[in-house]
């Protein structure tokens, strides 16, 4: 690592990227510390993948500057590639190579010493030693994902960039995957992971929320929630379906979402919300309780606000 | 539920048309292929080639020889493009393919003719491609009877009577028995190489893009140069194996003669493979997926087959088709292969056919580099 990389593994600002007329990433700034698991959230087409690709030298930013692992993202993409493990959104290993062949190929691409031993070690660690001669294409989704992670870790990167690694993976495999990420983080490996899942977002040390290429919030989960100062009421009992329709009409109510047997009613102004809800709070059939807003409430709030203030093009 | 619902069926038909319309390349093929084939087969291909370039090596000039030559010219099969100073030059003109025929008029031809000694005129033909020369050769015998009708008058009229006043000795060179395989089999080598080399490289790269593995490859420290050349080299080897296989079979099954230096041939093969591989790479840089790479290959392959002189005599085609043909690497490669195997050509003879292939490669490389992306931008 370069000398100035003291603690910031990713430190970029002013990143812009256009695809034709689309301004996909807008003045994006991002700082990630060593050993952090950093969650990268945002709806589809918000620029997450583009940002990750710019960080690892697969795309050249139109403007902006910064460092990744202390290397300049514009001038030293090859050095960055050498020390970064990038896991693509779609399984991108060779389905017509066996598991061992895939790992051996990756090992050669990174010019690793003692390739054979490292590959065997990775196979054992993966628990795939006895299936090493199977074609990668024959693996199930969860196993493909584990193989991809193992291949990304083979050259012992300092930074992992994971683009929606758990899409289409079952809950058990997902949990094991996150345990592995935390173990890596404990060893000082930094992880930037994009995801759609709220439970995964909550497992991250830090979060960033990006929408239409613009960074809307950044910090720990608590900081992100606190930054929007939302008030959420949970209501139970009565005819919740028709209540939801009525509540959505109220101007102080921003979101009404069903959570099992309860409705979560969220607004950004506490007093106005309380006043609007007052008539319903008197209804004896309903039980009201103020609860902490969830990350999801915050993200939907951010999306709605962006939609209200400016055009949001999802593509 | 009915077994056949018209509206459901129409839905499928409509969807197919919408998809066809969006797939521009396929749409282009639907229209382009019949037009190209019609034009090529209708206008360009002629199995009775005329105006074949002919050189004269004349040791005797007289009214008679002039009449004979103009008779040859009037037959429309022969077109005089030059005069050879000596036998060596005449040989070289045939070997390099500059001319199809050499007419040799021996010394004292006129005197022998007037004495009624029935002198012989030598017509040497480049018979590597029997179909290119066969009609011209059958026309020449007619000619011997009619060429001198106007000259042999008065007391000399008796010479014109049967048997003819002179004799034409035809000497088909390089493939004297007019064995079609001698021409087709070496030609096939070029055709097979064109097909496999262009297609395989085209597919090799687009396959990575289509399956998403290219992103993975580019995320490693591998450089574009490593990726490109690394992906090409296996196909160079495959090409060389194919060539060896074809040469072996040509020898073993068809007895195709191999007069020239095989080393020279392999060097030419390497150049030709390189040209086709760069074309395949360029196609893969332009194509979005494997299907498009295949379609582009087909678009290139069709004129290569028809206009290169592989299927039909090159000299039978009109000027515009010959011009198109001269651009194609296969045209030049066919001349090289036939030249080396059948005529025993060496470096000095094939040079004029090698540089157009190199030039083609250069132009295609420049185009390819313009479109090839080393990042995902």
Q: What is the CATH number of the domain that holds B146?
A: 3.40.1710.10
The answer to whether the beta carbons of residues B220 and A110 sit under 8 Å apart is yes
Shared domain for B64 and B142, answered yes or no, is yes
Q: Does B215 lie at the interface with A, CB-CB under 8 angstroms?
A: yes
* Nearest residue of A to residue B226, measured between CA atoms: A109
**What is the model's pLDDT at position A14?**
94
Q: Is A55 exposed, middle or buried (0-12, 13-18, 19+ CB in 10 A)?
A: buried
Boundary (domain end) residue, out of B120, B153, B173: B173
Interface test with A, best of B209, B215, B216, B376 (most A CBs within 10 A): B216
Shared domain for B189 and B156, answered yes or no, is no
**What is the model's pLDDT at position B214?**
87
**What is the model's pLDDT at position A52?**
94
Shared domain for B197 and B150, answered yes or no, is no
User: Is the residue at B21 inside a domain?
Assistant: no
Residues of B in contact with A88 (CB under 8 A): 212, 215-216, 219
User: Is the residue at B14 inside a domain?
Assistant: no
User: Is the residue at B322 inside a domain?
Assistant: yes
Spans of chain B below 70 pLDDT: 1, 153-163, 372-377
Boundary (domain end) residue, out of B127, B150, B173: B173
Shared domain for B216 and B246, answered yes or no, is yes
Boundary (domain end) residue, out of B173, B191, B218: B173
- How many Å apart are CA A247 and CA B215, to the nearest integer? 48
- Domain of residue B110 covers 52-173
Chain-chain contact of A53 with B376 (C-beta, under 8 angstroms): yes
Shared domain for B358 and B257, answered yes or no, is yes
Reported ipTM: the value is 0.81
Of A57, A82, A92, the CB nearest to B216: A92
Q: Does B213 lie at the interface with A, CB-CB under 8 angstroms?
A: yes
In the numeric block, the tokens 């429309």 are attached to: B76
Q: How many CB atoms lie within 10 A of CB A30?
A: 21
B261: left (phi over 0), alpha (psi -120 to 50) or beta: beta
Q: Which two tokens stand for residue A115?
A: 């390739």
Helix (H/G/I), strand (E/B), else coil: A15? strand
Shared domain for B349 and B286, answered yes or no, is yes
Interface test with A, best of B219, B375, B377 (most A CBs within 10 A): B219
User: Is the residue at B7 inside a domain?
Assistant: no
* Nearest residue of A to residue B375, measured between CA atoms: A58
A10's enclosing H/E stretch is: strand A8-19
Closest by CA position to B280, among listed B225, B209, B199? B199
Q: How many CB atoms lie within 10 A of CB A65?
A: 14
Q: Does B222 lie at the interface with A, CB-CB under 8 angstroms?
A: yes
Closest by CA position to A60, among listed A75, A79, A41? A75
- Report DSSP state, residue A294: P
Spans of chain A below 70 pLDDT: 1-6, 309-315
| Structural domains counted in chain B | 2
CA distance A18 to chain B (A): 10
Chain-chain contact of A109 with B220 (C-beta, under 8 angstroms): yes
Residues of A in contact with B213 (CB under 8 A): 92-94
Residues of B in contact with A53 (CB under 8 A): 376
Residues of B in contact with A78 (CB under 8 A): 221, 223
- How many Å apart are CA A209 and CA B315, to the nearest integer? 70
User: Is the residue at B140 inside a domain?
Assistant: yes
B88-127 pLDDT, tens digit each: 899 889 888 889 999 999 888 888 888 888 888 888 999 8
- How many Å apart are CA B374 and CA A59, to the nearest integer? 9
User: Is the residue at B33 inside a domain?
Assistant: no
**What is the model's pLDDT at position B349?**
85
Shared domain for B240 and B367, answered yes or no, is yes
CA distance A219 to chain B (A): 28
Structural domains in chain A plus CATH codes? 3-225 (3.40.50.300), 231-292 (3.30.70.2070)
Q: Is B57 exposed, middle or buried (0-12, 13-18, 19+ CB in 10 A)?
A: buried
Residues of A in contact with B219 (CB under 8 A): 56-58, 81, 84, 86, 88
Angle in degrees, CA A38, A43, A44, rounded to 5: 110
Residues of B in contact with A82 (CB under 8 A): 221
Q: Does B376 lie at the interface with A, CB-CB under 8 angstroms?
A: yes
Shared domain for B165 and B192, answered yes or no, is no
Chain-chain contact of A56 with B213 (C-beta, under 8 angstroms): no
**What is the model's pLDDT at position A5?**
44
Shared domain for B75 and B160, answered yes or no, is yes
- How many Å apart are CA B153 and CA A113, to the nearest integer? 96
Q: CB within 8 A of A87, min separation 6: which ones?
A: A148, A149, A152, A160, A161, A162, A163, A165
- How many Å apart are CA A243 and CA B94, to the nearest integer? 97
* Nearest residue of A to residue B227, measured between CA atoms: A109
Shared domain for B185 and B66, answered yes or no, is no
Shared domain for B64 and B118, answered yes or no, is yes
**What is the model's pLDDT at position A157?**
95
């Amino acid at each position: 690592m370069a000398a100035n990389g003291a603690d910031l593994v990713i430190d970029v600002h002013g990143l812009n990227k256009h695809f034709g007329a689309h301004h996909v990433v807008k003045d994006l700034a991002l700082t990630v510390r060593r050993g952090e698991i950093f969650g990268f959230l945002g709806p589809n087409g918000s620029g997450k993948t583009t940002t990750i690709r710019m960080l690892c030298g697969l795309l050249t930013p139109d403007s902006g500057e910064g460092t990744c692992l202390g290397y300049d993202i514009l001038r030293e993409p090859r050095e960055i590639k050498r020390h970064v493990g990038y896991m693509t959104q779609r399984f991108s290993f060779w389905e017509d190579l066996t598991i061992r062949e895939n790992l051996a190929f990756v090992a050669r691409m990174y010019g690793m010493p003692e390739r054979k031993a490292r590959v065997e070690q990775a196979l054992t660690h993966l628990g795939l030693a006895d299936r090493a001669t199977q074609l990668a294409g024959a693996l199930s989704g969860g196993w493909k994902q584990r193989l991809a992670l193992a291949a990304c870790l083979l050259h012992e990167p300092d930074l992992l960039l994971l683009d929606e690694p758990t899409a289409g993976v079952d809950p058990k495999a997902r949990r094991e995957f996150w345990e592995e990420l935390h173990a890596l983080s404990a060893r000082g490996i930094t992880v930037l992971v994009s995801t759609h899942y709220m439970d995964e977002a909550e497992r991250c040390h830090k979060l960033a929320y990006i929408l239409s290429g613009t960074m809307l919030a950044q910090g720990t989960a608590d900081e992100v929630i606190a930054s929007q100062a939302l008030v959420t009421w949970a209501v139970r009992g009565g005819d919740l379906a028709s209540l939801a329709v009525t509540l959505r009409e109220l101007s102080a109510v921003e979101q009404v979402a069903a959570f099992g047997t309860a409705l979560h009613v969220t607004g950004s102004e506490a007093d106005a919300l309380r006043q609007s809800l007052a008539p319903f709070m008197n209804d004896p059939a309903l039980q009201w309780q103020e609860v902490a807003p969830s990350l999801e409430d915050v993200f939907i709030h951010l999306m709605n606000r962006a939609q209200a203030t400016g055009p949001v093009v999802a593509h | 539920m009915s077994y056949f619902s018209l509206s459901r069926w129409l839905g499928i038909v409509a969807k197919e048309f919408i998809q066809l319309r969006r797939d521009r390349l396929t749409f282009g093929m639907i229209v382009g292929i019949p037009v190209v084939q019609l034009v090529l087969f209708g206008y360009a291909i002629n199995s009775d080639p005329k105006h074949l370039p002919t050189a004269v090596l004349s040791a005797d000039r007289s009214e008679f020889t002039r009449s004979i030559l103009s008779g040859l010219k009037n037959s429309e099969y022969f077109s005089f493009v030059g005069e050879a100073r000596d036998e060596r030059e005449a040989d070289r003109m045939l070997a390099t393919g500059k001319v199809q025929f050499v007419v040799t008029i021996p010394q004292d031809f006129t005197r022998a003719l007037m004495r009624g000694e029935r002198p012989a005129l030598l017509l040497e033909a480049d018979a590597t491609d029997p179909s290119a020369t066969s009609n011209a050769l059958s026309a020449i015998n007619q000619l011997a009877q009619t060429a001198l009708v106007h000259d042999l008058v008065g007391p000399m009229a008796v010479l014109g009577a049967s048997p003819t006043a002179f004799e034409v000795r035809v000497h088909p060179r390089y493939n004297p028995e007019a064995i079609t395989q001698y021409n087709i089999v070496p030609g096939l080598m070029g055709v097979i190489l064109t097909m496999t080399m262009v297609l395989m490289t085209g597919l090799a790269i687009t396959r990575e893009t289509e399956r998403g593995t290219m992103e993975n490859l580019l995320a490693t420290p591998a450089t574009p140069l490593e990726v490109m050349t690394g992906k090409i080299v296996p196909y160079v080897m495959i090409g060389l194996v194919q060539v060896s296989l074809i040469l072996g079979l040509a020898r073993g099954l068809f007895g195709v003669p191999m007069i020239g230096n095989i080393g020279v041939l392999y060097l030419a093969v390497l150049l030709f493979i390189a040209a086709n591989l760069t074309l395949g790479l360029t196609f893969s840089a332009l194509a979005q997926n494997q299907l498009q790479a295949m379609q582009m290959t087909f678009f290139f392959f069709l004129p290569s087959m028809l206009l290169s002189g592989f299927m039909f005599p090159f000299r039978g085609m009109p000027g515009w088709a010959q011009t198109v043909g001269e651009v194609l690497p296969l045209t030049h490669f066919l001349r090289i292969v036939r030249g080396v195997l059948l005529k025993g050509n060496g470096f000095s003879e094939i040079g004029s056919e090698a540089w157009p292939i190199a030039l083609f490669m250069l132009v295609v490389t420049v185009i390819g580099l313009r479109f090839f992306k080393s990042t995902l931008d």
